[in-house]
Amino acid sequence: MRTGTISVMRALLRQEGYRLPSGSSARRCPRGSARLTLPEALATTLAPLRTDRETLTARDWRAIEARLADA
């Protein structure tokens, strides 16, 4: 789900002519999209996707940490 969310965000940005810097997806989207000055309509569209991405990232890390604790 996280990868799909990032892909949708990148596609929406690309449609408007924006490009995110290369790098890992964990760093690229938060860093790259936060630096852009976006039109309000696009920023409003991306806001829930950013929230979803952050939630999914946190959930993934909690799951990894739990697996490590069990090991």
Summarised one tens digit per residue, pLDDT across range 1-15 is 888 888 899 899 999
The structure tokens listed for 8 are 């949708």
Distance CA 30, CA 34 (A): 6
Task: Find the domain containing 46 and state its range.
Answer: 2-70
- Number of domains, the chain: 1
In terms of Cβ atoms closer than 10 Å to its own Cβ (0-12, 13-18, 19+), residue 12 is middle
Residue pLDDT, tens place only, 33-45 = 566 789 999 999 9
- pTM tops 0.85, yes or no: no
- What per-residue confidence (pLDDT) applies to 67? 82
